[in-house]
Structure 1
Amino acid sequence: MDWLMGVLHADSVLELWWVLFGLLAQLMFTGRFLVQWIASERKGESVVPVAFWYFSLAGGVMLLTYALYRKDPVFVLGQSLGVFIYGRNLWLIHAKRKREA
């Protein structure tokens, strides 16, 4: 709770903006699980829709940006690999669609 009070009483508008950006990034990243869950429930089996990868990539890039701002090497390393994997999955999906078209 102390961190929240610090944010709410932050002297820096920029710092508050970064915290809000970080929260939005986490919501975007978490949204991928909602997308996957809804798609699986509709189909009656576990599926990973393309939207899952877009949410993953957008949330991952946003979280990586936030981690770079925070200069947190653990957070940066964790998000860097994920962003590469999400991008690669989208590349493979679109390459397959192009071949099948």
Structure 2
Amino acid sequence: MHWLMSVLHVDSRTELLWVIFGFAAQGMFTGRFLVQWIASERARDSVVPVAFWYFSLAGGMMLLSYAIYRADPVFILGQALGVLIYVRNLWLIHAKRRREA
């Protein structure tokens, strides 16, 4: 573990856990592109599945948490705006489904 901490330039176990969380958050956020790519390949058309927005929301919220921990105002602003957009898209999708039901 000491080797990993030195490679990642962290001074404490808590900091190491936050860095690992940050990598997991980035992985979740990147996963949305894989979901979209697979859905588009299957449809043979460019599509944005609902799962894309859920991955976006989960990854965005995780990255926002990490940004807040890091106290990075640029990162916080970017992720907070993204989270609002992801929530709004999911709201619109579910409102449309309710109207059509």
TM-score (norm 1): 0.91
Sort the Cα spacing of 1:53 and 1:13 in 2 relative to 1 into closer, same or farther, 3 A: same
Aligned to 2:37: 37
Question: Which residue is equivalent to 1:56?
Answer: 56
Q: Give, in whole Å, the separation in 1 of the partners of 2:8 and 2:49.
A: 38
Question: Residue 47 of structure 1 aligns to which amino acid in structure 2?
Answer: V
Q: Report how far residue 58 of structure 1 moved.
A: 0.2
Give the 5 Å matches for 1:1-101. 6=6, 10-101=10-101
**Deviation at residue 10 of structure 1 after TM alignment:** 3.8
For structure 1, list consecutive stretches of 5 or more residues without a partner in the other structure.
none
- Runs (5+) with no aligned partner, structure 2: none
CA deviations 1:29-82 (Å, max 9, x no partner) are: 000000000000000000000000000000000000000000000000110110
- Runs of 4+ with deviation above 6 angstroms: none
Do the aligned residues in 2 keep the contact of 1:7 with 1:16 (CA within 8 Å)? no
Q: How many residues align?
A: 98
* Cα deviation, residue 8, structure 1: 5.0
Shift of 1:9: 6.6
Q: Normalising by the residue count of structure 2, what TM-score does the alignment of the two structures yield?
A: 0.91
